[in-house]
A and B are shown apart, each in its own frame.
Chain A
């Protein structure tokens, strides 16, 4: 009965570097979400996968951000040319099918710090 897991738990990088953040959803969940949470704020939607495809990527702030889910399970959020403003906690959530009646279960997050 493992929940959503995210690695690494913390990532410190320098401005301009490339980072990858990984999310392992609950087994059998077809829907996967990425959110970003800044200090003192609620999570902000980034992208939603249904299976292998991105069903809604309207929350990605710019083209430096990209996410994949090649086999419909594990997902990777990729950030190119990181900026100090990218520093935040990146949360991943999964749900059974993506329907509105499904609960989204969150992982512990990856805290990204860009120096």
Chain B
């Protein structure tokens, strides 16, 4: 069964304290891995898409990396406004009807204290 697991469930950091969030997956035929940010009471906001092992993408203080079994979201010198739930999701390969849907992990709740 396809699974996406995120760790830790919650992470508390001091402002400026860098860390990483993990997303591990056991799926067949990965087509893409997505990272989203979700603020309380809002829908997920797109951050990155990664397609192949070794790929990296950056945006401001965030950097996402991908291996064959997991993805990391690295947060460098975080600020309080980076506090949110970070979700990863996988999209499976073509074939059958699973082409469009995303399978999400449960999310990591990040809190950055000033």
Interface 1/0 per residue, A75-104 and B, CB below 8 Å = 000000000000000010101001011011
Does A51 sit at the interface, judged by CB under 8 A? no
Query: A98 to chain B: which residues have CB within 8 Å?
Result: 99-100
The answer to the question of A21 belonging to the interface, with a C-beta cut-off of 8 Å to chain B, is: no
Given known pairs A42-B107, A101-B32, the reply for A59 and B43 (CB within 8 Å) is no
Is A108's CB under 8 angstroms from B98's CB?
Answer: no
| A109 is an interface residue with CB less than 8 A from chain B | yes
- Residues on B with beta carbons closer than 8 Å to the beta carbon of A109: 42-43
Contact of A59 among B49, B91, B101 (CB under 8 A): B101
List B78-113 residues whose CB lies under 8 Å from chain A. 87, 89, 91, 93-94, 97-107
In angstroms, Cα B49 to Cα A81, docked, is 38
Measured as residues with beta carbon below 8 angstroms from the partner, the interface class of chain A is 20 to 34
- Chain A: CB-nearest residue to B87: A42
Flag whether B16 is at the interface (Cβ < 8 A).
Answer: no
A55 to B106, CA, bound (A): 25
CB distance from B112 to the nearest CB of A (A): 20
Q: Which residues of B contact A62 (CB under 8 A)?
A: none
Using known A-B contacts A42-B105, A100-B31, determine if residue A106 contacts B43 with beta carbons closer than 8 Å.
Answer: yes
Residue positions of B touching A, CB distance < 8 A: 4, 6, 31-32, 34, 36, 41-46, 49, 87, 89, 91, 93-94, 97-107
